[in-house]
């Protein structure tokens, strides 16, 4: 019998990818499936970004680069942090990786020992708890509610911190809730964190530009600059520039830990793809008009979808602050249906009987909800709502 490590047995495959896969299988079998499960923009990567990649190929930028990223891309990232976030970093505080996923993975491996606790607010991006488990850490989940717009309170955070807490993870705007913390809310969390110098902070800003709060984006470092020496800012080009397939993410933070993360990366994947790095540089240095075009479209679809969801029986949806996800409660609909007992079964039923693929909230640590991606055309969204209306009677 082939022996598997306890490490791999402690984790599960990404549930969002699982839904996408089942939908693809049903589609291949000839069924008409509307996929609202995907976590990526439906837009194509902008032309000027593609052109930079093609030029890189022609220029022979097809070899290994520095493990932590090309000097040119790191310069573009440093300039981006200064320009958009008012944050100052040196080159040795930046690590470019193969997607935001690898950035967080490197961080977990670099700072967690067996049994170290990582505080993760729910609903969370599906990969945080599993990556913490791979690092043999212990995910400590803090549940939020719709009453606080799916955000945790300072009291909750303080109550969860122990001597074993090593990391606090915050993702705003959030996948899956679409909610963003206000500057005041971040300051209140920062005030708690100031009291516990043994806790490091990871702020995942992957959806930074995709907001419609009417206020500028802010993260916990903007709110509480005193946390600079123990905060990691994680970001990437995947969502903002419709570049999920290019696999470029980046991390900024204290040089000591960034160096340790680089060491891990040097013994696993080495540098991210040289061509993707050239494309990411063009994305960060170029005109940001393409981002605004996509955000305007996401905002419009958000407004339609939230209103439409609230007309469905047993469904309640809050307006989000950004991202391309809606995260309604389906609890009423689940309770009203005697053939299912939870959100996972209900999602399966909707997929098989209504041909609509969405991701059950359990995947994000919040049962009773569903995540719907509106990174798809208005026509498809309208069609999906029609089908849901029929299925929910």
Residues in the site for ligand PLP, rule: CB under 6 A?
39, 99-101, 125, 171, 175, 204, 206, 236, 238, 244, 249
Of 127 and 274, nearer to ligand PLP (C-beta) is: 127
Of 350 and 363, nearer to ligand PLP (C-beta) is: 363
Using a 10 angstrom Cβ sphere, with 0-12 exposed, 13-18 middle and 19 or more buried, the burial of residue 289 is: exposed
The least CB distance from residue 2 to ligand PLP, in Å, is 29
**Distance (Å, rounded) from C-alpha 130 to C-alpha 247?**
20
The least CB distance from residue 205 to ligand PLP, in Å, is 9
Of 224 and 244, nearer to ligand PLP (C-beta) is: 244
The least CB distance from residue 28 to ligand PLP, in Å, is 24
**Distance (Å, rounded) from C-alpha 112 to C-alpha 103?**
14
**Distance (Å, rounded) from C-alpha 174 to C-alpha 284?**
22
Of 45 and 331, nearer to ligand PLP (C-beta) is: 45
The least CB distance from residue 13 to ligand PLP, in Å, is 14
Of 258 and 333, nearer to ligand PLP (C-beta) is: 258
Q: Nearest residue to ligand PLP, using CB?
A: 99
| Cβ neighbours of 12 (radius 10 Å) | 12
Rounded to 10 degrees, the C-alpha dihedral 183/185/190/193 comes to -160
The least CB distance from residue 203 to ligand PLP, in Å, is 11
The least CB distance from residue 101 to ligand PLP, in Å, is 3
**DSSP string for residues in 323-380:** SSEE--B-HHHHHT-TT--SHHHHHHHIIIII-EE-EEGGGGT-TTBEEEE--S-HHH
Of 15 and 99, nearer to ligand PLP (C-beta) is: 99
Write the CB contacts of 166 (distance below 8 Å, at least 6 apart in sequence). 111, 112, 113, 116, 117, 118, 137, 198, 199, 200
């Amino acid at each position: 019998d082939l022996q598997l490590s306890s490490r791999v047995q402690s984790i599960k495959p990404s549930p969002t990818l699982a839904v996408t896969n089942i939908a693809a299988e049903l589609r291949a079998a000839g069924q008409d499936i509307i996929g609202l499960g995907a976590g990526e923009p439906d837009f194509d990567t902008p032309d000027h970004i593609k052109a930079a990649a093609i030029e890189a190929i022609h220029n022979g930028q097809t070899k290994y680069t520095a493990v932590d990223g090309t000097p040119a891309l790191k310069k573009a990232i440093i300039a981006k942090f200064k320009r958009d976030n008012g944050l100052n970093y040196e080159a040795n505080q930046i690590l470019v990786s193969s997607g935001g996923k690898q950035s967080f993975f490197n961080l977990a491996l670099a700072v967690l020992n067996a049994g170290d606790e990582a505080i993760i607010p729910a609903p969370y991006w599906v990969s945080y708890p599993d990556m913490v488990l791979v690092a043999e850490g212990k995910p400590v989940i803090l549940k939020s509610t719709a009453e606080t717009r799916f955000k945790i309170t300072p009291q909750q955070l303080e109550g969860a911190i122990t001597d074993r807490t090593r990391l606090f993870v915050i993702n705003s705007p959030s996948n899956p809730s679409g909610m963003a913390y206000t500057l005041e809310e971040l300051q209140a969390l920062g005030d708690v964190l100031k009291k516990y110098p043994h806790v490091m902070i990871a702020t995942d800003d992957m959806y930074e530009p995709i907001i419609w709060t009417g206020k500028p984006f802010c993260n916990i470092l903007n709110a509480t600059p005193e946390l600079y020496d123990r905060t990691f800012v994680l970001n990437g080009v995947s969502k903002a520039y419709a570049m999920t397939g290019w696999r470029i993410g980046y991390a900024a933070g204290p040089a000591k830990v960034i160096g340790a993360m680089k060491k891990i990366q040097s013994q696993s994947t080495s540098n991210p793809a040289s061509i993707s790095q050239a494309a990411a540089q063009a994305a960060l240095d170029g005109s940001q008009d393409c981002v605004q075009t996509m955000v305007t479209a996401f905002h419009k679809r958000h407004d339609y979808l939230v209103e439409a969801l609230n007309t469905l029986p047993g469904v309640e949806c809050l307006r989000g602050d950004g991202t391309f996800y809606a995260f309604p409660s389906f609890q009423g609909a689940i309770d009203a249906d005697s053939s299912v007992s939870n959100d996972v079964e209900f999602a399966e039923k909707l997929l098989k009987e209504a041909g609509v693929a969405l991701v059950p909230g359990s995947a994000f640590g919040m049962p009773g909800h569903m995540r719907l991606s509106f990174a798809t055309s208005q026509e498809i969204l309208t069609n999906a709502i029609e089908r849901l209306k029929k299925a929910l009677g």
